[in-house]
Structure 1
Amino acid sequence: MKNILIVFSVMFLLVWGSNANALTVNYLPSPAQTTAGVYAYATTFDMMAGMSVKVTWGDDSISDFTWSSPGGLAGGVSDLGGFTLGSIGDSYSQSWVLGILEPYTSKTIQSIFIDAGTGNAVFDVLKETEGTANSGAGYPFTVTNSTGNFDITATYSGAVQIGGAAPVGDLYRYLNIDFTSTAANYQGYFGVGDYLTFRADTDNLMYENDIAPVPEPATMLLLGTGFAGLIGFRLRKKKK
């Protein structure tokens, strides 16, 4: 895990360049998620330990990572091939850092899928104001620096609601980042020597492991029918 801190330090020194060529941000409410509540206090990168990160490489292979912390306020994922994603400090004010360092690997990245829920967190996209109760102000996906050789589509999904209340549209469980390159030598994706820093605020869940998909209406109907049938059966049995 010491490698994570070393890579972060190097990348913070190197990050300086033009913004990405284009950025598109999408918001998809499904699959809806529910939790008992969230806290708006500063969520630091070490507090998201356990978060699932899935990387789809340029050759269509997939690697699964689990977010961890080497100590302090730092957290992230990395491999021996030079890939790293993470940061240090508060996710509201500090940028995430993504890169593949030379000369370790020739891999490219098609997309990165982050499940914040497995790290007892959610993404908060409502800027400068509170939406869901106790969520505080958030920050949507925003590129702060990059090599500028690729276009990005960031898609939030899995709108989070508190209990039985309808989701406000500020909290999401999932974030998917897709890359498309405008330079032929990058083979269409984020590649070796590229770097990207971006803002994406997170909040912590009120209780650990307390987030789950909202049952579909059809599932609720089946459950209701099942309970009604069970009650009817018991009443008939009592009458007999």
Structure 2
Amino acid sequence: MNMTSIAVVGGGLAGCECALRLARAGLDVTLFEQKPGFRSPAHVSDCLAELVCSNSLRSDESASGVGLLKAEMRALDSDFMSAADACRVPAGKALAVDREAFARAMTARVAAQPRIRLVERRISALDDPALDGADSVVIAAGPLASEELSASLAEALGTEHCYFYDAIAPIVWTHSLDMNVVFRASRYGCENGEPAGQGDYLNCPMNREEYETFYQALLDARKVEARAF
């Protein structure tokens, strides 16, 4: 009987994939997730594997680095990729998913795995007593790790801070677009013999003056309040 036990901290994308893979390999896993008792300012769902953007998974083209990684994960029978493909929505060469359906699917997979014990607990440091007794510990808290855990990681790594950068996309009302000018096409041009006028994206051609007007409108628009994290 295999008595090896693994503690995985963080029930996000990496944490769920890791826990499921280890469980399928015959190892006992304790998956620590702080939700629903505690959420970061970016969390809105009680589900595991919560995505902040439907297009977070980026390109699915095997000629790109991230696309090749996805192809390798599919070849390795990844739970992550199986759920993502099942929840896919049109996005050209990108892998975009229905975020809520994807999170529910990953949560169900974890719940159905008898070797995974899901524990609602906020791990605040690498020496948290809850991690005692585990043969190995996997930190998969991601960029939304708590300030306390981030500080503990930074101390262990000998750095002052851990860094993560992301961007936010503006939301444009469809009724504000002139469909006599805007055209539909895929993100990187015609794909797979796609006929003109078809695709998953609305493209807005602009000359310099139009672009500068658009840019200024973005600067003047109502902003999403910046989060301290």
TM-score range, shorter chain: under 0.3
With normalisation by structure 1, the TM-score equals 0.26
Q: Which has the higher contact order (CA 8 A, sep 6+)?
A: 1
More strand by share: 1
More helix by share: 2
With normalisation by structure 2, the TM-score equals 0.27
